Structure 1
Amino acid sequence: MEHVLNLIPIKRIDNLLADCEFIGHEWLDWLRQNKLSCRILVKSNNVEDRSKKIAVGKLCTGVSINQKVTWHSKKKVSGVPFYIAARRNLKGLLIVVATKQPGSIIDDYSKRWSIETMFGNLKSRGFDLESTHMTNLDRMDKLMELLTITVVWCLLVGHWCYGSASQLPLNKYYRPAKSLFRLGLDRLRRVLKNNCAKKDQTTFLDLLNVLSHIGNRHKVFFASAVVACQLGFVQAAGFSIHEHSASAMGTAFAGRASNGEDASIGASNPAGMAVLESRQLTVGSAVILENGNFKNGSFSNPNVPASSSKNDNFLKTTAVPFGHIVLPFDDRLTVGWNAYAPFGLNLDYDKEFVGRYFGDKALIETVNFQSVLAYKVEDDLFVGIGLTLSHINGELSQKKYVSPIPSYNNIDAVVKGDDYAFTWNVGVIWRPYMSTTLGASYHAQTKFNLEGDVKASNVAGGLGDFKHKAELKITMPERVMLSATHQLDEQWTIMADATWTRWSRLDSISVVDKEGTLTQNGSTYVPMHWKDVWAMAVGVAYKVDDQWTLKAGYMFDQSPVSDSTRTVRSPDNDRHWITAGVKWSVIEDIVFDFSAAYVMLKDGKIDEKAYNVSNQAVNSGYGSLIGEYEGQSTWILSAQMTYRF
């Protein structure tokens, strides 16, 4: 102990944990003189109380099953004053510990068995490390790495054996006769020695399967839970959201259905997961900072004077996290999961916005939870299919005009609802040449039937607030993605992408009041008449060295909205994306991707009219809104980490 204290100062020692062999006046007095904190197991007849020796069992007569007790007055152990703590386990066995300072005595002492067991794993009853007589530090490093791997294997098998056993054998102290490590080590030794024997039902392949999958299951479920709790939304062309991958955003999403860099390809093309040869987890997020102005606005209804002809704060900063997991089952079959946001909208105008009678707040959140099955048909051909559970949550609000009397034309109307729906997608990847990869995928439409409530508040005349059941049917469109990736040489790679979205599916937004006519006036029915669109992208990647890759890209993102169909809830227009990114391989199995995008929108005019549920304009009684959207732009910053395991 004196030699140990020369190496480790006393102030760095939290506690000395020792069994009853450490008991003795010379030892305990030495601890007292050196002011060394300790937790020591006490022998059955080694306690003095008021100068009288007393059996531990008699001292602890009042300690019940599973109870922990600490005596506040000191007792003498081998003639040295100590505090005493005791616990009676479920079998009635007493554990009595002496200490210089009271506290979590029993809990601290319980760590001794774990520490002692770990040392035992490396000594003669385990790997017998001492008998190697190694002194070379380089060789010791390699040996310890191998032993670390082996310890993990033994613990995994021990956990597996513990879970499959009805009861583990106990020693005379009613503790497990073997640690989980020893349990696993014995099973491994037996199987490696007699794996072909019929009496041993656990084959060597069974154990390899355990070692391959036990640890990974926890990672998969944990990552899925984190991603599911964090997913968000943001507005893009139409309602589309591209931000599911920082690595793909670096090239403006060119090659997103063909370039299998990481697990995020599954969101674009499920076949891409079969291209990946290792288990990997990709998690990240994008932050969207949007700007835009509405100016020269006017509302033609004379009974509702405009209070603000402009609005500069209707676009909100939003975060869009994402997560993707790939687990190759064998050299051909791969399974995977994706969690990302395919569609979304987030607008919130000021209270005095001149267009508040057409729309105040518009919120659409859509989250996809996708399971993928991918298959390697040949070395140059991959296919995949994805089954997706999609959740949508929507909220639309506006002021209601119901009468020319001013006190009756300021009603707040809010519609909220949500729904779940299943959809699917398929994909294929083909490598006609070693340097060229082509990818194609089809994402089916998703039909939602949002059910919720429509509420009216701030109703004049003492009529009180109204709340009715309502529904909103909406179909998110199908998409077709075509991508190409071509490697020019060891450093340069070029990519392209063309994505078609069938936005003509969204012909109108109609809220149906199931109980009355609360929603029958004004803009309950909003004709959309959107058109099908293409998004075209090109990108390039330059590999500086094994650690760094630089990226850049451009995308033209066509809008389904025209001047005649633009509304306060869809102030959209054609977009131009300019992106840049960098890939940093920290080590072989950990890769970071960082990317930035600047998105510019064309200016656009609005001339919105109100319609009733029969798609008839009610401009003469309700009024119309005119104005201009200008200066809309977006900065997007995205980062992700990919971990291969």
Structure 2
Amino acid sequence: MMKHSPIVVALSAATLGLATGAAQGAGFQLLEQNASGLGNAYAGSAAVAENASTIYFNPAGMAYLSGLSVSGGVTAIKPSFKFKDDGNSTRPLAAPGALGGNGGDAGKWGVVPNAYLAWQIDNRWNVGVGLGAPFGLMTHYQGDWVGQYHSRKFEIQTINVNPSVSYKVNEQWALGVGVNYQRIDAEYTRTAVVAPGLSREATVKMDGDAWGWNAGVMFQPTPATRIGLSYRSKVKHDVDGHTDLAGIGSFDAQASVDLPDSAILSAYHQLNSRWELLGDVSWTGWSSIPELKINNTGIPGDTLHLDFRDTWRVALGANYKVNEAWKLKFGVAWDQSPVHEAADRPTSLPDNDRWWFSTGVQFQAGKNTTVDVGYTYLYLDKTRINNTGESLAQKGRVSGEYTSNGNIFGVQVSSRF
């Protein structure tokens, strides 16, 4: 296991401790890598380059920042996942007791922090580093619910440290590249049938770290128009830990997961002195996770079938400059879910396609300092689940419907020195 500096360990602990319960991009991707883009539903994210958080969305954007730029913020997320049984759910054949209830609201509050620093070395070169949590999820049901043999609690937390560099080729073109150190912590709890008529709580806890990379290009054909293209690589995690069976013992556990790659094509255009227009199309390679297989030593393993598909996201936004101090932000987005069949929809991630409706305000607090406040409401249609794709004998059947939505609040402070 590699050793890390006390600073990295401290920052990792802080971010992992906060980035809990959140899952607001489709799947368990967290788009909330700044709050300044929240009011636009992250439209134009790879082209705006208005502060140092461009390091995450497109490192080439650092070429448009002068001096020393810092940006930091926090986003609070409240998802809601409420299940209603349709009468067709069943327990495993050998499970004791009654069927159970609906599990309450499985969505919990989460807080996602971010921090960035970018430094202009000369007229062509910029360097920087970013800290954020690109993936996160927690669903937590009341204990004795109908789907407890599938999941009672499922939690993923990540921390991503992203050193980056940009090069300004000329007045029209800029390039950027970064490396990513990523740490992941995961916990999965469900009720398991260990013998006919005997159930025990099983909890898996695992962690690990891995490396990835990102790159981007920025094209500015006119002073009023900017186009950005960026890519983030897959990150392959080999994680290990232990599975605890209540009253029985602890067993070594291991799993591997390829967190998906993604690409963003964005545009920004200053229409006039008041209006700015933004848009983007993004792709995420969720098919890298067909299943999550947990291998245990001494007891049978566990498999969570997912059959994820690759997804698309489309976002449009606009900014209106009221005066020198105030700017209003608006945005809307359609975000496709990697889960596309009711039979493959896990109780740990009852996901569906969603619409983002966003607004925000930016205040010029000083000559070189801005404060952004943003809000997004997430709308999801009723979501069907019918776990016939899982092992009915071992986990039973969960059949019914989820009512889901989300609320996101964010604050970002950005300064230039």
The TM-score, its normalising length taken from structure 2, stands at: 0.93
- Pick which of 293-302 and 582-591 moved more: 293-302
Aligned residue in 1 for 2:14: 229
Correspondence for 2:285: 502
Residue 556 of structure 1 is matched in structure 2 by 334
Does residue 381 of the first structure (1) align with residue 173 of the second (2)? yes
**Match of residue 49 from structure 2:** 260
SS in 2 for 1:246: coil
1:592 Cα deviation from its structure 2 partner: 0.4
- Please state if 1:629 is matched with 2:412: no
Distance 1:434 1:224, change over 3 A: farther
Q: Structure 1 residue 304: deviation in Å?
A: 3.8
Q: 1:223 to 1:452 in 2, by over 3 A?
A: closer
Amino acid at match of 2:56: A
In the aligned structure 2, how far is the partner of 1:300 from the partner of 1:222? 48
Give the letter for the 1:286 counterpart: T
Give the alignment of 1:383-402 within 5 angstroms.
383-402=175-194
Contact 2:200 2:246 in 1 (8 A): yes
Instruction: Find the aligned partners of 1:291 and 1:391 in 2 and give their Cα distance.
Output: 26
- Is 2:417 the counterpart of 1:638? no
Q: Which has the higher helix share?
A: 1
CA deviation after TM superposition for structure 1 residue 349, in Å:
0.8
* Cross-structure match for 1:431: 220
Alignment match, 2:3: none
Q: What residue in structure 2 maps to residue 488 of structure 1?
A: 271
Shift of residue 527 of structure 1?
1.4
Cα deviation code 1:227-260 (max 9, x no counterpart): 8724514112101101111111111100100001
2 CA distance for matches of 1:331 and 1:432?
19
| Conservation of the 8 A alpha-carbon contact between 2:58 and 2:176 | yes
Gaps spanning 5+ residues in structure 2: where? Answer: 1-5
Q: Is the 8 A contact 1:592 1:639 kept in 2?
A: yes
Q: Which structure's residues are more often strand, by fraction?
A: 2
2:311 matches 1:533 = yes
The aligned runs of 1:546-585 (5 Å cut-off) are: 546-562=324-340, 563-585=342-364
Name the counterpart of 1:293.
Answer: 82
Q: Deviations over 1:508-539 (max 9, x none)?
A: 010011x22x234xxx1121111110011000
- Give 1:222 deviation, angstroms: 9.0
In structure 2, what is the equivalent of residue 14 of structure 1?
none
Q: Is the 8 A contact 2:149 2:395 kept in 1?
A: no
1:519 alignment counterpart: 300
Tell me the equivalent position of 1:589.
368
CA contact (8 A) 1:322 1:341 kept: yes
**Equivalent pair of 2:343/2:389 in contact (CA under 8 Å):** no
Q: Kindly provide the amino acid, as one letter, of the partner of residue 306 in structure 2.
A: M
- Which residue does the alignment assign to 1:608? 387
Q: Which amino acid aligns with 2:111?
A: A
Secondary structure, counterpart of 1:564 in structure 2? helix
Alpha-carbon distance in structure 1 between the residues aligned to 2:393 and 2:31: 41
SS at match of 2:37: helix
- Quickly say closer, same or farther: Cα 1:412–1:345, change in 2 above 3 A: same
Larger radius of gyration: 1
- Aligned equivalents of 1:455 and 1:262: distance in 2? 45
After TM superposition, the structure 1 = structure 2 runs for residues 18-417 of structure 1, keeping only pairs within 5 Å, are: 229-230=14-15, 232-233=19-20, 234-236=22-24, 237-296=26-85, 298-301=89-92, 303-405=95-197, 408=198, 410-417=199-206
Secondary structure, aligned partner of 2:387 = strand
Residue 384 to residue 466, structure 1, CA distance change in 2 (3 Å) = same
Report what 2:211 is aligned to: 422
State the distance in 1 between where 2:78 and 2:376 align: 10
* Conserved 8 A contact 2:207-2:240: yes
In the TM superposition, residue 402 of structure 1 has moved relative to its aligned partner by 2.9
Larger relative contact order (Cα-Cα within 8 Å, sequence gap ≥ 6): 2
Corresponding residue for residue 45 of structure 1? none
Cα distance in 1 for partners of 2:153, 2:98 equals: 18
- The code of the aligned residue for 1:597 comes to T
Following the alignment from structure 2 to structure 1, what is the Cα–Cα distance between the partners of residues 321 and 9?
Answer: 31
User: What is the RMSD of the two structures over their aligned residues, measured on CA atoms?
Assistant: 1.9
Q: Percent identity?
A: 31
- Between the aligned partners of 1:227 and 1:327, the Cα distance in structure 2 is 23
Q: TM-score when scaled to structure 1?
A: 0.61
Is contact 2:193-2:394 (8 Å) kept?
no
Task: Say which of 432, 440, 447 aligns to 2:236.
Answer: 447
Q: Which runs of 5+ in 1 are unaligned?
A: 1-220, 459-464, 612-617
For the 8 Å contact 1:599–1:635, the answer to whether it is kept is: yes
CA gap 1:223/1:433 in 2 versus in 1, 3 angstroms: farther
